[in-house]
Amino acid sequence: MTAFLFLILLLLAVVFAEVLTRLIKKLNRDLVLLHPFRSHQKRDEELKPFQNYLNLFANSLMIAMGREDIFYELNEKALKLEKEGKNIIRLNIGEPDYRVDKSIIKAAIKRLNEGNVKYGSAAGEYYLREKIACMLNTDTQDIVITPGSKFAIYSIMKNLLNKGDRIMVFAPCWPTYKLIAGDLGIKVCKLEMNEKWDIDTAILNEHMNNIKMIVVINPNNPTSSVLSNKRVREIVEIATDYNAWVLYDVAYADLAFQPVKKIVEDNVLLVDSFSKSFSLSGWRVGYVACNRDICKRLIKFNQITISCVPEFIQRAVFTGLEHKDKIVKKARKVYKERAVFAYRYLKRHVKVCMPCSGFYIFPHIGMDSVKLAFNLLEKGIAIAPGIVFGEKYNEYVRISLVRDLEVLKDSMSVMIDTINKTKSETI
């Protein structure tokens, strides 16, 4: 009997010792977390065992970005109506109406006529990379040509981030980032911009734990707002503090009504496109500028996916860059005229910020934007409902300023009438 009791006591002691050991181990690691003098990288490593707890906690920050499916649904419907012979004013997509400069087309045609367009460099043609590098005041090796900036974004996220990593975007935000991240198993956190579409860097700083990349779209899509160079600098510094990348998407920078600096730094990945500034949307050409070690990885990815961007397209862009000031100045003038016109018209009826860049206006319409968008489509006008850019923006719409003033005026007039009618019906 004594032996039996002794045995039970011993077993209990063993179990107790085991539990105690585990608790101490855990506690030890917890204490490490509170140590203020460790580097972020080291802390990250030590945090790994707790990733699951932290994940649960961080989910409150996670993005339910929006309903980008509605964007495609609406676009498909617009295309269907067009096929049925109906005339649709397409203000829903970011497609320039502006004709491509003749010099660009001529350069492409010249190369095609020469007839020997062969496999090119996976990095992009040297002359084009050199030209871009010169404009950005960096080295040719820091440039990689891609088939559009979207491919550049995909390549960067694929090659620099791992499944489960977190990126920070500022809402409202172009939905493609969420789609690409989703495909790669990358988690998207968001920070809402304030009502002037600016970013509160103090709040950003508070939410940087575990963030591996900050996405900055400047000028922004859909708001056409511009961040000051000072604000961009602050964001880059916060990223540096937290060992994070900045993906700096400047696809609209050349159409901004104030200077937007294109920066290339060690932890900054500059992504640019010729789709908007040169109206080359369907040609698929853009670039990344970043440190050359990262470039090498992006070039390898080009090698095993696209091989190269067609050389005649690169030749055309090169020619465009030689006339860049003239081409871009002209485009900016047209877009500014439209932006001012749209802003003046809309502000009499709804809450709206003056765009600081070409392309979009993002008014607050005070009603369900999905309902309005489908309603307007029946009347031959396509716009993008705000919910596409973030769940909080369902009472906004994005209007692409890609038609003449007359057409824009008529479209906005129909929109305002529809809004007023719907509102009065609801009352």
Q: Exactly one of 39, 52, 60, 116 binds a copy of itself (CB under 8 A); which one?
A: 116
Contact positions with a copy of itself (CB under 8 A) in 211-230: none
Cβ-in-10-Å burial (0-12, 13-18, 19+) of 258 comes to exposed
Angle at 321 between CA 320 and CA 324, to 5 degrees: 85
What is the spatial distance between Cα 318 and Cα 143, in angstroms, rounded to a whole number?
Answer: 14
Q: Tell me whether residue 5 or residue 56 sits nearer to a copy of itself (CB atom).
A: 5
Strand order in the sheet with 143-146: 143-146, 286-289, 268-273, 245-249, 211-217, 166-171, 187-192
Spatial separation of the C-alpha atoms in residues 141 and 198, rounded to whole Å? 33
* Distance, CA of 413 to chain centre: 31
- Binding-site size, a copy of itself (CB under 8 A): 46
Encoded one letter per residue, x for contact with a copy of itself by CB under 8 A and - for no contact, window 378-407 reads ------------------------------
Q: Site for a copy of itself (CB under 8 A): which residue of 119, 196, 424, 425? A: 119
Binders of a copy of itself among residues 148 to 207 (CB under 8 A) are 148, 150-151, 154, 176, 179-180, 183
Query: Can you tell me which of 65, 70, 168, 313 binds a copy of itself, judged by CB under 8 A?
Result: 313
Residue type, 174: W
Residue 113 lies near a copy of itself (rule: CB under 8 A): yes
At closest approach, how far in Å is the CB of 320 from a copy of itself? 14
Give the footprint of a copy of itself on residues 92-111 (CB under 8 A).
93, 95, 99-100, 105, 108-109
Residue 309 binds a copy of itself (CB under 8 A): yes
Alpha carbon 126 to its chain's center: 27
For a copy of itself, the binding residue among 141, 291, 305, 422 (CB under 8 A) is: 305
Which of 173/353 has CB closer to a copy of itself?
173
In order of 8, 16, 18, the CA distances from 13 in angstroms are 9, 5, 9
Minimum CB–partner distance for residue 19 and a copy of itself (Å): 18
b/e code 306-315 from CB counts within 10 Å (16+ = b): bebbbbbbbb
* Amino acid at site 85: G
The site for a copy of itself (CB under 8 A) is made up of: 2-3, 6-7, 10, 93, 95, 99-100, 105, 108-109, 112-113, 115-120, 147-148, 150-151, 154, 176, 179-180, 183, 280-284, 301, 303-313
